[in-house]
Chains A and B, each alone.
Chain A
Amino acid sequence: SAVISQKPSRDICQRGTSLTIQCQVDSQVTMMFWYRQQPGQSLTLIATANQGSEATYESGFVIDKFPISRPNLTFSTLTVSNMSPEDSSIYLCSVESGWTSTDTQYFGPGTRLTVL
């Protein structure tokens, strides 16, 4: 299994500002994912982050709003840009050690973001 930490664990931000969330894994992994969990709703995949290439975004999410970095096999960041109250959510990163659909995905504890 993989141990995943996220920073910050929570934050309260002002409208129009940006926040960068860090995700650190205790072992090298191939796939890293970023999810959003809006209040009272399920998890929605934002993007897949692979080391050495640009992130792949899901429908409804764009790089200008959610830029992602993946500088190595144990670390990734997600930035929430020009925030509005609608961005208030829990943001979770997850990792996989393999490339196939049978691999277990491990999740971090999440970053709880409140935008005023």
Chain B
Amino acid sequence: AQSVTQLDSQVPVFEEAPVELRCNYSSSVSVYLFWYVQYPNQGLQLLLKYLSGSTLVKGINGFEAEFNKSQTSFHLRKPSVHISDTAEYFCAVTPLDTGGGNKLTFGTGTQLKVEL
């Protein structure tokens, strides 16, 4: 079984400041990792995913995340945030190649609030 921990339920930040949203996971098997964003009253949208290769993954809207296997972390970062980045961010994992599709295990989410 897998579990995902997002320690920060809310992160307030000023516009144009950098931000890091933390994600740690636990799994007895290797996993793929994902970050999703949920804007108010909308469905989840994939920001980025780590499958293999370079541990630094770049996604949409200027976000990036770094996979650290030894620390079982997959923190999300953005060097300069915008008001439009205000949303809920979810980290998720799925076991490698289950053949039954992505049974995603989600963290509890981090509400990013960007202020002027």
Contacts and interface: CB of A to CB of B under 8 A. Distances in A.
A105 B46 contact: yes
Given A42-B107, A43-B106, A96 B101 contact: yes
Given A48-B100, A92-B43, A99-B100, A43 B95 contact: no
Interface residues of A, number: 28
Given A92-B43, A109-B41, A110-B43, A101 B96 contact: yes
A31 interface: yes
Contacts of A103: 101-102
A92 to B, nearest CB: 6
Contacts, number: 69
A110 B46 CA distance: 15
A101 B90 contact: no
A106 to B, nearest CB: 8
Interface residues of B, number: 28
Nearest to A40: B108
Nearest to B103: A45
A4 interface: yes
Contact of A109 (B43, B100, B103, B107): B43
A48 B103 contact: yes
Interface string B91-104: 00011111111111
Which 4 interchain pairs have the tightest Cβ spacing? A31-B101, A107-B43, A107-B44, A42-B106
